[in-house]
Amino acid sequence: MSEIKTFPEGFLWGGATAANQCEGAYNVDGRGLANVDVVPIGEDRFPIITGEKKMFDFEEGYFYPAKESIDMYHRFKEDIALFGEMGFKTYRLSIAWTRIFPNGDEEEPNEKGLQFYEDLFRECHKHGIEPLVTITHFDCPMHLIKKYGGWRNRKMLTFYERLCRTLFTRYKGLVKYWLTFNEINMILHAPFMGAGLYFEPGEDKEQVKYQAAHHELVASARATQIAHEIDPENKVGCMLAAGQYYPNTAHPRDYWEAMKEDRENYFFIDVQARGEYPNYALKKFERENIKVEMTEEDLALLKEHTVDFISFSYYSSRVASGDPAVKEKTAGNIFESLKNPYLDASEWGWQIDPLGLRITMNAIWDRYQKPLFIVENGLGAVDTPDENGYVEDDYRIEYLKAHIKAMRDAINEDGVPLLGYTTWGCIDLVSAGTGEMKKRYGFIYVDRDNQGNGTLKRTKKKSFDWYKEVIATNGASIE
């Protein structure tokens, strides 16, 4: 029997971005200030992301890369035309909450914000591209953080529901694939970005984070309910930052530590996909005296309105050890991990593990038995363009090729159902983790540096034509 080299018919090839990393135009057409705007580049970025340092507005002495980013707000037609030229079947993007409700608690939406996304979605359809829309990709209006404390406050459910109902109603027929919260498990690692949380001295951070997580989980279930009511064609997914944990050795305590780390990540998706809190989470709350306030109505909502599919980001696998003496760490999408001696790493220390993608896909499918969608995968690298702006990014091609092969094996050899694949940062954008522009993922080079200098000119990289061929052949061009 010959090896199957193509992907399922109707497979959704594409790319992914986030509003706060590409749109810019932070104060244009009535848009309000959001948490993602006030996170600067540099060494102070991470304390703000983790909620250890407050920053409620722009301050002197910092550069805020999201203010302008790559100005896709004014250039989306040019960018979507390039995506169309590559043959994208889908484009994953996110809504900037403060374009729709500038403060977050208004009764009526901002029409200019609604019209912007309507124009963008229609432009996608003009090029045969199905929008895949993340409702909240780390965005939270600063007004809601200052006045209500972000997602720690149950009132956020009302504001989020109003946002969702507005979106589902306005874009009925234009969008059918929705994600409620990007990388929802990031609440535990980047709570300011994940849920608009900041902490006062002496505050019980775990209590606050898990209460905020509950509010987001209930909000996600309510969004799923409303989406299906407004348009039965809507498909709603959850989204996690994935990457299977490997035990550092064959010692049972390492295997147990890896299982515990996986559970911490899957906890959110267990609720969104299965409809109830898993026993291990309830025991953790009991053991650590975490008292999550939840109502019977909450629990019924979670049970009755689970997601239609599971989406996730994958950049690397991770390693865990139960031995406190084992400490050599490496980076990886906010998550630190023990270093894996068998893997190479990117320039930012993210370990490269294509087989880990296949392992992760199988683990998620085995756990949930719901269709999967890989909505982020890619290599952040320093690209050096020639005098014409052209980049020979063979390293990116090799990375993506290896991961697509692993994905293909999971589908064809393991029987894992996969709806689609959107590479991260299909056009160069601002890094969420570091705020840098030099950490590039795209098929399209954008002339901009870490301090916002440059013409913003778009130029196709070598990977542009390579990915175009992958899509045109439905994966058959990859040997």
Place of tokens 């972000």: 150
Between the two ends of the chain, the Cα-to-Cα distance in Å is: 16
Work out the burial of residue 79: count CB atoms within 10 Å of its CB; fewer than 13 is exposed, 13-18 middle, 19 or more buried.
buried
| CA max distance for the chain | 65
Listed in sequence order, the residues at least 6 apart from 325 whose beta carbon sits closer than 8 Å to its beta carbon are none
* 375, 422 Cβ separation under 8 angstroms: yes
* 218, 160 Cβ separation under 8 angstroms: no
336 is catalytic: no
> E strands within 280-326?
309-314, 318-320
Cα 308 to Cα 134: distance, rounded to the nearest angstrom:
14
Place of tokens 């977050």: 104
Query: SS3 for 157?
Result: helix
Q: What is the DSSP string of 36-57?
A: GGS--SSTTHHHHHTTSS---S
Query: SS3 for 81?
Result: helix
**Which tokens belong to 30?**
């009535």
Active-site pick, 23, 216, 257, 376: 376
Cα 300 to Cα 275: distance, rounded to the nearest angstrom:
9
* 347, 382 Cβ separation under 8 angstroms: yes
Residues pairing with 330 in the sheet: 337
DSSP 64: -
Residues pairing with 141 in the sheet: 34
* Amino acid identity, position 377: N
Cα 417 to Cα 7: distance, rounded to the nearest angstrom:
11
Cα 124 to Cα 262: distance, rounded to the nearest angstrom:
36
List C-alpha distances in Å: 243 to 22, 127, 341. 25, 33, 17
Mind telling me the catalytic residues? Answer: 376
